[in-house]
Structure 1
């Protein structure tokens, strides 16, 4: 296992976390209900914290983390869908965020499948998997509330 491989994987995850943060921020702007606005704002803060932890891990491994301006094309398309889907509508906001969350959970799962990922990076990502699953369940509940 090399630090270079680990940092490449972590930078890929980082870019998706950055997109997720921006997606939640956009959802908070567009949502009608204050409950949803607050939820989206808290999730954006959570994703910022996750991104900071991933950045720190990359730095500790001796590499340079991707900047906030760098977004993977596929992750970018997922969260660009958020902007297009949001039309001052709680239901559309939740649906778009749910799509982004599924993408993020898949990104974490794929990263953890790499044999070349360092133990510390695996531990970091595993620590956040529970939160991602819980967020998915919360989004499902929000979706039910808008039905």
Structure 2
């Protein structure tokens, strides 16, 4: 924890972005269809880019960005492995990233409600909200295609 509320909020978001990146990478590993593998790989790259932008913002405050995801995400990846072993891999991958994306959108929404988040940090997060919503819609389409 730092003395800068924006850094603390952004580091929390950053951990979740790191988790999301790892989740998409794992989803690409376990998916069966190349279309899904490619989608998940592209989303992992997009999450890495978001994480880099958040790191840059934290560094601009003179603070140190987080480097790791959360323990909860590690547990989620273990669940993805078990889930994939028990059901269709495409379905398991889509279900897992859908859950992760809902959580990430909720984190962004909560962060943007905070009065102690700097204007530049709010702008950064708002710039990515549309992408997160679009990803949610794309995941819904993948879910329909996998059924």
TM-score, with structure 2 as normaliser: 0.91
Select which of 81, 84, 101 maps to 2:82: 84
Name 2:124's counterpart in structure 1: 124
Q: How many corresponding residue pairs?
A: 144
1:146 deviates by 1.0
Q: Paired residue for 1:72? A: 70
Taking the aligned partners of 1:145 and 1:35, their CA distance within structure 2 comes to 11
Root-mean-square deviation (Å): 1.7
Partner of 1:40: 40
Task: Write out aligned runs for 1:1-147 (5 A).
Answer: 4-67=4-67, 70-87=68-85, 89-147=89-147
CA distance, structure 1, for counterparts of residue 126 and residue 73 of structure 2 = 20
CA displacement at 1:77 relative to structure 2: 4.2
Measured after TM superposition, the shift of residue 32 of structure 1 is 0.5
Listed as ranges, the gaps of 5+ residues in structure 2 are none
Indicate conservation of the 8 Å contact 1:20/1:44, yes or no. yes
Q: Give 5+ residue unaligned stretches, structure 1.
A: none
Q: Distance in 2 between matches of 1:92 and 1:107?
A: 23
Contact 1:31 1:90 in 2 (8 A): yes
Distance 1:79 1:60 in 2: 32
User: Normalized against structure 1, the TM-score is what?
Assistant: 0.91
SS in 2 for 1:86: helix
